[in-house]
A and B are shown apart, each in its own frame.
Chain A
Amino acid sequence: MLHPTPTLKETPSQTAGPYVHIGMTPNFCEITGVCDVDLGLTMLADDTAGERITLTGRVIDGAGSPVGDAVIEIWQAQSDGTFAGPRTREQGHGFTGWGRQPTQPDGTYRFDTVKPGPVDGPNGRKQAPHVSLWIVARGINIGLQTRLYFADEAEANATDFVLNKIMDPRRRETLIARKDEGGRYVMDIVLQGEGETVFFDI
């Protein structure tokens, strides 16, 4: 078997720093007039197929304090389990599959999206519906990658190969979003300590 090695080294990561919102959500931090809207603010269009859902939660650090200066990006499949691409955009289907939101001063984030369908996984098996997350902030030297799964997909979650890589069932729970009274899916992201979210080396 061939084991090719890369010819160049990946550019090393550096923290996004305390002013990441200038570069990634400029209108949110009052740098207006450069671009009309912040990229990733809206994932949906009127004709987007699928069940409309809201994902929310808080980002919390190892001292239990809210992380109010983070940016979260999500990437997910459409409701049919395929990913949006340039062709879907050309055809006028508005769903981008990609969202970007700042956390608020109290650490909360929120995405309005559609529930993703099951995605093809390794060995020809479907992965449970999930959303991929990437979190950057001051004090995070390299972006943290994790996933959000849905509590009401227990059957699919039970056979999901990523969830099954997490041996400790309590840690597996850190990736499961639960519905609150308002019907929103809630998943906190705990950077460190008690209830620490499972992060991946992808």
Chain B
Amino acid sequence: MSGIILPGADGQLFQRDRAWHPAADTPGYKSTTFRAPRHSLLALGPTRSEMSGPTFGHETFGPLDNDLIRNYSQDGTDAIGQRMVVYGQVLDENARPVTNTLVEYWQANAGGRYRHKKEGYLAALDPNFGGFGRSLTDKNGFYSFRTVKPGAYPWPNGGNDWRPAHIHFSVFGHAFAQRLITQMYFEGDPMIWQCPIVATIPDKAAIDQLTARLDRHNTVPMDALTYRFDIVLRGRRSTMFENKLEGN
């Protein structure tokens, strides 16, 4: 809940640049064939209903929520794989930090295998790896978590398609119209450029925005490599009024 609306109009976000995002129907990614709407989207400026959104408090979170190396550990040992810290800042399009917002992430294990009953890949499950975690951004918009580097994996799309190593992200922002799901890739991975899901994004610069950078300076000595992944949510036009949207 931002509690912020604009004068005149009932809240204004910058319009979403749909050409920067993937189109709905992308033949190279076959699952879109029957799931992409045929009608064009109906343009609707956000109203109070979309300019507000859910809030989450610290009471929701446990101490291991952002530690995928330990949060599913069955026997007290760490998950297997290359140890890694992922962190970044959630910003809006005006480069302002998005504070106190929920970031959720999920991924395959180091062998590229998900803990999911529909998963059919041969790679072994790690009994101590669940693959799920979450953070609330701090007062400067930063999140961080500890995990192992996910493996690449094959998937039934074109017969021999492989996903590059990636982590799925879900981010809320303060307005329901800011809601975003995306995937993070790793700097320098040659698998990025052969992936049909990456290729749903038309602009190379947009793909680059999904690529986490190795942050050599923040390596944890004798422990973990560190990657930085900043996330940008839709921002509001300037000149805002403070206003309480909530009841009571």
User: Quick one: which of B94, B104, B200 contacts A141, CB cutoff 8 A?
Assistant: B200
User: Quick one: which of B3, B22, B39, B246 contacts A13, CB cutoff 8 A?
Assistant: B22
Q: Contacts A139-B34, A142-B22 given; indicate if A7 touches B93 (C-beta within 8 A).
A: yes
Contact, CB under 8 Å: B132 / A23: yes
Nearest CB of B to A78, in Å: 6
Nearest CB of B to A54, in Å: 20
Q: Is B26 an interface residue (CB 8 A)?
A: yes
Nearest CB of B to A174, in Å: 10
Give residues of chain B (179-235) contacting chain A, Cβ–Cβ below 8 Å.
179-183, 197-198, 200-201, 205-207, 209-210, 231-235
Q: How far is the CA of A67 from the CA of B50 in the complex (A)?
A: 25
Contact, CB under 8 Å: A23 / B105: yes
Query: Which B residues lie within 8 Å of A2 (CB)?
Result: 238-239
Contact, CB under 8 Å: B168 / A11: no
Contact, CB under 8 Å: B34 / A201: no
Q: How far is the CA of A182 from the CA of B10 in the complex (A)?
A: 37
Contact, CB under 8 Å: A127 / B42: no
- Most chain A CB within 10 A, of B71, B106, B115, B133, is at B106
Q: What size tier do the contact residues of chain B reach?
A: 35 or more
Contact, CB under 8 Å: A10 / B35: no
Q: How far is the CA of A169 from the CA of B20 in the complex (A)?
A: 32
Q: Contacts A23-B104, A141-B23, A165-B42 given; indicate if A29 touches B95 (C-beta within 8 A).
A: no
Q: Is A130 an interface residue (CB 8 A)?
A: yes
Q: Is B64 an interface residue (CB 8 A)?
A: yes
Q: Is the interface of B mostly helix, strand, loop or mixed?
A: loop
Interface string of B112-147 (1 = CB under 8 A from A): 001111110000000000111110000000000000
Q: How far is the CA of A191 from the CA of B31 in the complex (A)?
A: 12
Contact, CB under 8 Å: B232 / A122: no
Interface string of B76-117 (1 = CB under 8 A from A): 000000000000000111110000001011100000001111
Q: Is A177 an interface residue (CB 8 A)?
A: no
Q: How far is the CA of A15 from the CA of B25 in the complex (A)?
A: 12
Contact, CB under 8 Å: B55 / A6: no
Residue of A nearest to B100 (CB): A86
Contact, CB under 8 Å: B245 / A132: no
Q: Is A80 an interface residue (CB 8 A)?
A: yes
Q: Is B46 an interface residue (CB 8 A)?
A: yes
- Most chain A CB within 10 A, of B38, B49, B209, B237, is at B49
Closest 8 CB pairs of A and B: A23-B106, A85-B246, A139-B31, A6-B93, A82-B247, A98-B54, A139-B35, A85-B1
B residues in contact (CB < 8 Å) with A:
1, 3, 9-10, 14-18, 20-24, 26, 29, 31-39, 41-50, 52-57, 60, 62, 64-65, 71-72, 91-95, 102, 104-106, 114-119, 130-134, 168, 170, 176-177, 179-183, 197-198, 200-201, 205-207, 209-210, 231-235, 237-239, 244-248
